[in-house]
Amino acid sequence: MKKAAFSLLVFVTVAAAIGGSRLFPGAVDDWSDAEIATLRSLWIGSLPELPPDPGNAVANDADAARFGQALFFSKALSPSGAIACATCHRPELRFTDGMRKGRGVGESRRNTMSIVGSAYSPWQYWDGRRDSQWAQALSPIEDPAEHGGSREHAVRAVAADSDLRRQYEDIFGPLPDPGAADRIDTTFANLGKAIAAYERLIMPAPARFDAYVEAVLAGDRHRQQELFSIDERAGLHLFVGKAQCTQCHNGPLLTNHEFHNTGLLSLPGEVPDKGRALGVRQVLADPFNCLGRFSDAPPDACAELEFARSGFEVLGAFRTPSLRNLENTQPYMHKGQMFTLAEVLDHYNDAPPAMIGHNEAKPLGLSRTELRQLEAFLETLAAPLATPEALLGPPEN
């Protein structure tokens, strides 16, 4: 009996060391009520209806979305005639660009964030320096490293294109005379609002993960085992448990839309990025913010802006990105510091001290097997995009 007990102890110890879930596959199909509730909260079926954009009166207007689609793919808004919104937000790359930092007529300061599902976020950009999709859409046009243009050029470009002009005037009324400086700003804001009406339709589609959650909710173990490998199921257990990923990556888009300092190192030769600490100043000063005169929102609809966190608590903090549709979106992080998911997971496992501010993360103590299983789970979040073209048709050339 002693020998048998000793043999069992050795077997269990070795099993745990090499990834016990692979030897006991039933264990990774066992979900507690609390875990099932968490899985349901991450399921795309729990995604609520699109939130309103009170600052954009045409946010849900189909004609505005078609006009915005044309603007999104048009290079006419850039004086060089070579840059469009789609230059950095490429549909085939999940609306990212595959580069460490975005590149228009020059190189931008940070990695290009995906705009998939961004209508659900109260903040745009890594540092949240804009508080709506339409305000964000205006920034690249005047950024010297992106479109390298001006609001005056953008308005003139729309006026010079008979189709764009017709679409604009059908929605917003007559374009202003070139000398009407006071109306140029309003017209420019309207261009951003149309682009945002298009971007609001760019949404994630259900992934294999979502089908797995449906199988869990239905209690269908056979279907669960068809959909996920043992390592993928073990990785999901880690994601909602030991790895603590859902502290920040929660909800159906797997992001809390908040800002966190996670101790990311700057690229060689660059000073530490202050992130949200500067971004919150910029959004408060932005003339196109929710409280600005170009916004269609009543003042009582701008609580996010009025109560935005600032100061040391957001020094070096960046917006939590969605984990959906990670496929083909590398490099990762706000400066494109990491090229693989394995590097990202190693970073969070180590949780190094922050260069500025305070790293909110703590070392996870995950084994190499657990890190590999967690990466396997993250790959189940890949899915085709529910792009607006299905509703609006392809963009016109």
Chain segment 325-335, per-residue pLDDT in tens: 898 899 999 99
As beta bridge partners, residue 386 has 203
Using alpha carbons, select from 195, 73, 67 the residue that is nearest to residue 134: 195
Residue 102: the pLDDT is 95
Residue 166: the pLDDT is 97
Domains of the chain listed by start with CATH number: 25-49+206-385 (1.10.760.10), 62-204 (1.10.760.10)
Supply the pTM of this predicted model.
Answer: 0.91
Q: Which residues of the chain have pLDDT under 70?
A: 1-27, 178-179, 390-391, 394-397
Residue 22: the pLDDT is 44
| 381 alpha carbon, distance to own chain's centre | 13
Residue 19: the pLDDT is 46
Residue 3: the pLDDT is 53
3-class SS string, the chain = CHHHHHHHHHHHHHHHHCCHHHHCHHHHHCCCHHHHHHHHHHCHHHCCCCCCCCCCCCCCCHHHHHHHHHHHHCCCCCCCCCCCHHHHCEHHHCCECCCCCCECCCECCCCCCCCCCHHHCCCECCCCCECCHHHHHHHHHHCCCCCCCCHHHHHHHHHHCHHHHHHHHHHHCCCCCCCCHHHHHHHHHHHHHHHHHHHCCCEECCCHHHHHHHHHHHCCHHHHHHHCCHHHHHHHHHHHCCCCHHHCCCCCCCCCCCEECCCCCCCCCCCCCCEHHHHHHHHHHCCCCCCCCCCCCCHHHCHHHHCCCCCHHHCCEEECCCCCCCCCCCCECCCCCECCHHHHHHHHHHCCCCCCCCCCCCCCCCCHHHHHHHHHHHHHHCCCEECCHHHHCCCCC
Residue 396: the pLDDT is 64
Residue 74: the pLDDT is 97
Would you tell me the crossing angle of helices 181-199 and 162-172 to the nearest 10 degrees? 90
Residue 384: the pLDDT is 87
Structural tokens at position 328? 């083909």
Q: In 10 A of CB 22, how many CB atoms? A: 16
Residue found under tokens 């066992």: 30
**Distances 225 to 95, 221, 372 between C-alpha atoms, Å:** 32, 6, 19
Structural tokens at position 138? 């205006």
Using alpha carbons, select from 161, 71, 133 the residue that is nearest to residue 395: 71
Q: pLDDT digit string (tens) for 262-311?
A: 999 888 989 999 999 999 999 999 999 999 999 999 999 999 999 999 98
Residue 14: the pLDDT is 44
- Tell me the percentage of the chain whose pLDDT exceeds 90: 84
Would you tell me the crossing angle of helices 33-42 and 208-218 to the nearest 10 degrees? 140
Residue 10: the pLDDT is 42
Residue 385: the pLDDT is 84
**With left for phi above 0 and alpha for psi between -120 and 50, is residue 324 left, alpha or beta?**
beta
As beta bridge partners, residue 130 has 124
Question: How does strand 259-260 pair with strand 318-319?
Answer: antiparallel
Using alpha carbons, select from 144, 134, 137, 164 the residue that is nearest to residue 79: 144
